[in-house]
Amino acid sequence: MGQEVKQHQLHVITNIREIRVHKGLSQRYLGNALGLSQHAYSKVEHGYNRITLPQL
C-alpha cells in the first residue's frame, strides 16, 4: 500500500476518533453501532483493523 494511502487512512481514523471523543461516545457504543466489539473498534482507531465505507 502506498505511503499516500496510509497517510489518508491515518487522517480519517484520527478524525473519527476526535469526533467520537467530542461527542462523548465510548468505543463500546460506536463499536456496537458498527456491529463490532469494543476491542475490534479499538483496533480500528489504532489502525490495525479497517472499517468499510458502508459501515461508516
Q: Is residue 51 part of a domain?
A: no
| Range(s) of the domain holding residue 9 | 3-45
Contacts of 16 by beta carbon, 8 Å cutoff, 6+ apart? 44, 45
What pLDDT, on a 0 to 100 scale, did the predictor assign at position 1?
A: 61
Q: Is residue 54 part of a domain?
A: no
Q: Is residue 53 part of a domain?
A: no
Number of domains in the chain: 1
**pTM (2 decimals)?**
0.80
Q: Is residue 55 part of a domain?
A: no
Write out the H or E segment, with its range, that includes residue 6. helix 3-22
Q: What is the pLDDT of residues 8-26, one digit of tens each?
A: 888 989 999 999 999 999 9
Work out the pLDDT band at 3, boundaries 50, 70, 90: confident
